[in-house]
Structure 1
Amino acid sequence: MQKFFQDLQGKLWIQLVELFNKLTSFYVETWQSTEPFRRNTADFFALASEYLNKTLEFAQVIIAFLFRKISELFVAANKQYDNTEPIAVNFSRENKLGAWLIIASLALSLLFWIWMIWHAKRNETGWKKSWIFFMLISGPFGALIYYIFRKRKKESDQDKHDKVMMSFFSPMHKNSKESKK
């Protein structure tokens, strides 16, 4: 019995060795047959990395150009501010009533803006978030637009209400032709 198992083990070992040799030869042949593809892939990656480097260099030049232009804009804005600051100071010193009127109008527009945002928050039903977002983005002008639209909506609702009430309280003795006029 022991001899049988030893023979079986020997045959299995021979089969495993042959299988291992076939697998290694298959791997070697496959590796050698893919060499042109690997060479093309390496060329592709070299070309792609070169393109990426050129793209990054171009982006770096664009960013440097933009930063230079932005810094020039800041310098120009500072010069403009330095030139206009004495005008505002002189205006407020020479024209105190005008300065107070400007401050009061700015405060009133700010209060109106806050009041319209508060009104939209409390009273709007369908478009509340949209109106509030619009007013926050556009400032007091958005509040003025909201006020005009709200006023028109109230007037149209009041007109509908008046028509209903007038039709309800119209005299009963009028015929249908007179009531339609």
Structure 2
Amino acid sequence: MTPSEQARLIDQQEFAAECLAIRQRAYALLTDRRARMREALEQWLDRPSAAVTPAPRRRKQRNEQRERLPRGVKPKLHEYGGVSLTREQWAEQLGITKAALTTRIYRLGSVEAAIAAGRMSTPSNTQVLRRLINGFRRIRNRQLIQRISAAFHSDTPGYIQTSHSAKDTGGRWHVHDLQPNLEKSR
């Protein structure tokens, strides 16, 4: 065996030994980690508080959410249409929250006006979209009317003298006759 082959063989053996040592250290770390995790889990399961069931979370009851009045004070009744109810009852009747009714009272100035307004609904997405499209149509129509009216006024730029030919159009104006001819006006 040549010295280079011997050196190569020694390198291979050293590499194999290093790989084996690295693998053994990795396995040792994993088994140590598993043992620590298992011990932590057992401690957690054996803890004294695990045997006692936790107290159930107290959920706010509807009555607790309501505005609390001092003992002996009755809520104010508001009369509308011969019916006397509290603000909360009116809000329930209208299908809105008490906060929404309070805001409405503040904006409209009185409880009666807020109740008379009834259940105001917010516009749906299609209604908003419809209003938006109609607004754009109005703008477009206004622009078209301005263009058409500009074709009939001689004092506006781009005016073209249109002629009326009963032979070609049946007594009607052609739309292309109303378009301003930019080549002629240059």
If the TM-score is normalised by the length of the shorter chain, which range does it land in? 0.3 to 0.5
- TM-score (ref. length: structure 2): 0.34
The structure in which a higher percent of residues are helix is: 1
- TM-score (ref. length: structure 1): 0.34
The structure with higher relative contact order (CA 8 Å, sep 6+) is: 1
